[in-house]
Structure formats: structure tokens, C-alpha cells
A and B are shown apart, each in its own frame.
Chain A
Amino acid sequence: NAGVTQTPKFRILKIGQSMTLQCTQDMNHNYMYWYRQDPGMGLKLIYYSVGAGITDKGEVPNGYNVSRSTTEDFPLRLELAAPSQTSVYFCASSYPGYQETQYFGPGTRLLVL
């Protein structure tokens, strides 16, 4: 049982490049989330999904896209990377319900230059 896995661990992008951050969970959780963590700012929710085929925006969705074709996978897409997207990105999953514990992946550190 690997829990929540994220790839890559670290990536450097040039301005305007695109990339996909991968997230996979093996706990059969319906709910999945993407957060970004900036120093002194805590975590901000980018997008979340309550099941395959269903996604919704969080607090800071601009510049990102998501899809959820399977229960296990929830990739995050950056289409035109900007320096403001330099951050640490965390994926999380949980059972249905806003009282449920979220299980976090180890994070992806992204640097946009």
C-alpha cells in the first residue's frame, strides 16, 4: 500500500513551458485534491475532485487544469508556466466527506525560471 504518490519530485521549467504533475493513490479514495504551498502562506486549494469525471475549482485555480478519468489518478496540468507558479505542490486524497482525513503525497517542488 503506497498511499499517495507524486511524480516528479522536483522540476525546473522555463517560462511558457507546460508540464503535468502526476498523482496516484491506491486507497480507493473518491476525493482527491491539489494544493500549492508557498512560504508563509500555508496551503491553498487549487482543484479538487469528488470522483472520476467530476472536478471543481478551489481557491487558486488560475493557470492550472485537471482531469480525473480514473479513481486512482488526478493529474495537474500547467499550460503556460509562469514564475508565480514556483511552489511546492501537494496532492491529497480522502474518503467522501468534509470531515474525513486527507492523506498527502510527498510533494513536487517546481521552479519556474
Chain B
Amino acid sequence: AQSVTQLGSHVSVSEGALVLLRCNYSSSVPPYLFWYVQYPNQGLQLLLKYTSAATLVKGINGFEAEFKKSETSFHLTKPSAHMSDAAEYFCAVSDSGNQFYFGTGTSLTVIP
């Protein structure tokens, strides 16, 4: 089975600062990787996904992530945090068995 590890269950950044949320995966085959965002009392929404095309993936709201096979990582970044970025972020990996594996999530707080 695949697995996903998100380092840091809580991350706080100042408004305007760099956002870096970490995700490492284990996969025996080339994976498909996703970042989802969850705002309070809502379902998850896709931020971006890697599907073996470009290793640098750009998503919505200024977020991007880089797939690094040698490091088995797919970290999420945003150059400048905005108050509206405060949410829970989930990294996920899928395999050919149609199963999806989510990380435990990182709660992002943006300090004004």
C-alpha cells in the first residue's frame, strides 16, 4: 500500500511570508500526487495534482508543488501567504488500484 507523510500538523506563517508544507510519499510505482485544501466545515477541494507531466505543478490561488522523485517528496509552496490561505491542507497519493491515500493534514495559520 502507498503511504503519505505530512511533516508538521500545524504551521504558522506571517501574512506575506513564504508558505512551505511538506509531503513525502512511499510508492513502488510512479505515483499520482495531489494537494487538497479544506476550509472549515467544508469538503476538500483540489489545489493541484502531479500526473507525470511537468515536475513543477502550478495550482490555484498561487500555490505550486514540485515533484522530486529522488527525495520522494511533493512539497507545497506559495511565495506570499494571504489571510484567506488559512485552512487544512492534505497531500494524497493514488495507485492503479483506484485507492487514494491521504496524509494526516497540515493546519495552516496565517498571522496578520
Interface residues of A (CB under 8 A from B): 4, 31, 33, 35, 40-45, 48, 50, 56, 58-59, 90, 92, 98-99, 101-102, 104-107
CA distance in complex: A104, B47 (Å): 13
List B contacts of A101 (CB < 8 A): 34, 46, 49
Among B11-19, B61-69, B71-79, B94-102, which stretch is in contact with chain A? Answer: B94-102
CB-CB under 8 A from A90, the residues of chain B are 43-44
Selected contact of B46 from candidates A48, A59, A102, CB within 8 Å: A102
Bound Cα distance from A101 to B60, whole angstroms:
14
Does B100 contact A102, Cβ atoms closer than 8 Å?
yes
Given A42-B90, A42-B105, does the pair A98, B43 have CB atoms closer than 8 Å?
no
* Interface 0/1 of B2-41, CB less than 8 Å to A: 0010000100000000000000000000001010100001
Which B residues are CB-close (under 8 A) to A58? Answer: 99
Report whether B103 and A98 are in contact in the complex, using a CB–CB cutoff of 8 Å: no
B104 contact set on A, CB distance < 8 A = 40-42
Question: Is A50 touching B98 in the complex (CB atoms < 8 A)?
Answer: yes
**A104 contacts which chain B residues (CB < 8 A)?**
36, 43-45
Q: Can you list 24 residue pairs at the A/B interface with Cβ under 8 Å?
A: A4-B43, A31-B98, A40-B104, A42-B103, A42-B105, A43-B92, A44-B102, A45-B99, A48-B98, A90-B43, A92-B44, A98-B32, A98-B94, A98-B95, A98-B98, A98-B100, A99-B32, A101-B49, A102-B100, A104-B36, A104-B43, A104-B44, A106-B41, A106-B43
**With A98-B95, A107-B43 given, is the CB distance from A33 to B100 under 8 Å?**
yes
B70 in contact (CB, < 8 A)? no
Which chain A residues lie closer than 8 Å to B36 at the CB level?
A: 104
Interface check B84, CB cutoff 8 A: no
Nearest-CB distance from A81 to chain B (Å)?
23
